[in-house]
Chains A and B, each alone.
Chain A
Amino acid sequence: MNRENPSRPEVDDLFKRLLKDDLPPELENRMRTQFVNLRRSIGLSGRRHAWYSGGILERLFSILEWQSTQVMIRRDVLATLSVFLIVFGGAMHLSGNHSALADSVFLLKMSISIASQVRQTSSMECRVAVPEGKDQFSAYEIRWVAPGKTRIDFEAKDGDRKTRWVSGAVITVADLAKNTQRSARAATQPEDSLFRPVMCCYSPEQLAIHISGRWQLRRYERQAKRELGTFLFIDSGNGASVEMTVDLKTFLPLAIEEHLPNSGQAGTERIIIKQANFCWNQPIAPELMVPGKAARAGALMLESARKEDM
């Protein structure tokens, strides 16, 4: 304290000399006490004044400024605490601490990446089974090649077969049972209800639109051993739950299963309304994509695949 104010010893001496003889001892003691109190108050004035008159927060932070030995220990404790907080926080983060927000970001980013990856494919083959009654189903075989040619072979449960080609704005439909074939512009063609169940996997673009626009993200589960991930969506159109299995190495869907809304809840059986399996970026014979002679060949392939399934 003396170092802060070097003139004080002289003042002390002056007071001592003045008070030495002229005052009675009682008064001298009282004055001395007053003087000591005055010096204390000067020593704690200025910045430290807040400690006495400040609010809770000011008092809290004034502790940091008080340079007495006792508080120096508190400063050490606080310094240690701050280092501990930084190290502990950093370690928690680097060890992959779980976060609900990180899960949501992951889900969102994964869906965006899948939709983007699907759009960049050169070809797609997809087999779709739509159950119709016990052990019976309609089957679809979809082939798509970039930049936008699609062929869909359909076989109903009663054996009725149709093939549809879409190339740009032209749609060609071949009925193998009646041996007929007709082409029309897509804009003038009424939507064929037969092909409605496969609209989501009609082309990679349609699939990407469904992932990013129609299906709502719900849950994600990872099968670490097989490098696969399963996404659960809810179709905003019909409320069906959609389960999509994705290859985490390529970010491409391998299978999609659509379930009836609210089925599988409260112990009820899950009712599948559509099942699709995908094969990506594999070469497809160009003649299959041209309407005409190849129609029967494609349908025969579908039939053999169907027999394999059974």
Chain B
Amino acid sequence: MSSGSIVRRRWLLAARILILALLVAAAILSGKSASFIYVRALVFLLLGGIATSLMSFSGIEMQTAFAHAAGVRGDREEMLISSLFWESVARNFWMLGVLASTLSFVIALGDRTGNLSTITLAMASSLLAVFYGVILAIICYIPHWKLSREFRNQPPQASGSSETATPKPIVALSAGNIIGYFLFLAIMASMLRKPLLSESWAALQWIAYWPSLLVVLGGTLALVLFVGEAASGSTISLSFAITGLLGSLMGFIQALLGFSATSIEEVALAITFILSSCFAALLGMLLIGAPMEDRSAKAGRTTSQSVFSRLSWYAFPLIAFILMILTFILVVTPITIKA
């Protein structure tokens, strides 16, 4: 690398840091920054991002991906895995954002420590997790886009390139993957064990609504059996997304029927069903579907994640987020009776 390009690189880095500093300063000076700070969700997202990355990638692969993102060149196969890593991290942040939002929303709803104003404020604040998730996802997409472009521009190797190579066997869960799962469970537990006025693990009782969990689990199992291809994980994410969507829609219709019948009990049960279905489906996608497909893609059994899986990873959390906003509206809209 010539000294001129090194100097140019340094200037570029300084300019990027300056732009970032200006954005942060603008946010602080606007005086509204306090409303946009939700430390608990941010910590959950950052640690959750690390945990979910560990579920799919090894430490060396992660290190290489960071090196590639910093501008270090590598061979074609390494670049492909690094690109896959950044895409997976971005996707995980997006899904984690919606998951954290759903959890915080449920905790705000279940918590009876405040009055109506504080509860509705907490419900609104819980949506901030999605905002953080989107920002982190965009940040991680930048190296993915860059590496994908460089990967396309690199000439294919004469033999043994990733497209033509025979698929490698999917390796067993490594110690790193298992640590990832444990770390994620620990983060979830800390989120659910939030000390409230209510007893410990009350949040777990709020989110774990058995009927919706059974429907999502049963529906996913049925779809995986029908479609097959379970070993590569390509149908698991889609199956979770479809059953989560069906469960949420069922709950939403029930809520509307409850509104028309002025039955608050019905509306409350339906809202529980919607939230719990979304949560179960998101968790299933994050813990089973996405890591399996990542490992499958890494092994070269698929060149990249399937279109349907991508659709489920990006579309379902978006639908879950929209449903959560609708749920918020359903909760704060009073049922009125003509006198």
Give A contacts to B, CB under 8 Å.
47, 49-50, 52-58, 61-62, 64-65, 75, 78-79, 81-90, 92-93, 96-97, 99-113, 115-117, 120-122, 211-218, 236, 249-251, 280-281
Contact = CB atoms under 8 A, between A and B. Distances in A.
B117 A122 contact: no
B215 A86 contact: yes
B331 A57 contact: no
Contacts of B170: 50, 53-55, 58
B13 interface: no
Contacts of A65: 228-231
B214 A82 contact: no
Contacts of B218: 81-89
Nearest to B251: A93
Contacts, number: 196
Contacts of B224: 61, 64
A105 B292 contact: no
A212 B275 CA distance: 24
Given A53-B170, A106-B264, A121-B339, A88 B214 contact: yes
A56 B225 contact: no
A211 B117 CA distance: 10
A93 B331 contact: no
Given A50-B170, A112-B334, 6 more contacts: A53-B170, A79-B225, A82-B222, A90-B211, A101-B207, A116-B336
**Lowest 8 A-B CB distances belong to which pairs?**
A85-B218, A89-B214, A116-B334, A55-B172, A93-B211, A53-B169, A61-B230, A82-B222
Interface string B247-278: 00000000000000000110111011101100
B305 interface: no
Contacts of B269: 93, 96-97, 99, 102
A54 B232 CA distance: 11
Interface stretch (B31-39, B75-83, B105-113, B185-193): B105-113
B176 interface: no
Chain A contact residues, majority secondary structure:
helix
A106 B211 contact: no
B209 interface: yes
Contacts of B242: none
A56 B112 contact: no
A105 to B, nearest CB: 4
A115 B205 CA distance: 28
Given A47-B231, A109-B267, A104 B112 contact: yes
Q: Looking at A61, A84, A113, A120, which has the most chain B CB atoms within 10 Å of its CB?
A: A61
Nearest to A229: B264
B131 interface: no
Contacts of A211: 116
A216 B268 contact: no
B288 A100 contact: no
Given A50-B169, A61-B231, A281 B264 contact: no
A87 B332 CA distance: 32
B66 interface: no
B230 A64 contact: yes
Contact of A216 (B114, B217, B271): B114
Contact of B210 (A52, A97, A113, A214): A97
Contacts of B210: 89, 92, 97
Contacts of B142: none
A108 B331 contact: yes
B272 A101 contact: yes
B292 A57 contact: yes
B109 A104 contact: yes
B264 A109 contact: yes
A50 B231 contact: yes
A259 to B, nearest CB: 18
A35 B292 CA distance: 34
28 contacts: A50-B231, A53-B171, A54-B170, A55-B170, A55-B173, A56-B173, A64-B225, A75-B225, A78-B221, A85-B217, A92-B214, A100-B110, A100-B205, A102-B209, A102-B265, A102-B271, A105-B271, A106-B265, A113-B334, A113-B335, A212-B115, A212-B116, A212-B117, A213-B116, A216-B112, A217-B116, A218-B112, A251-B337
Contacts of B138: none
B202 interface: yes
A117 B225 contact: no
B202 to A, nearest CB: 7
B118 to A, nearest CB: 8
Nearest to B233: A61
Contacts of A280: 339
Contacts of A105: 109, 267-268, 271-272, 331
A104 B337 CA distance: 21
A104 B110 contact: yes
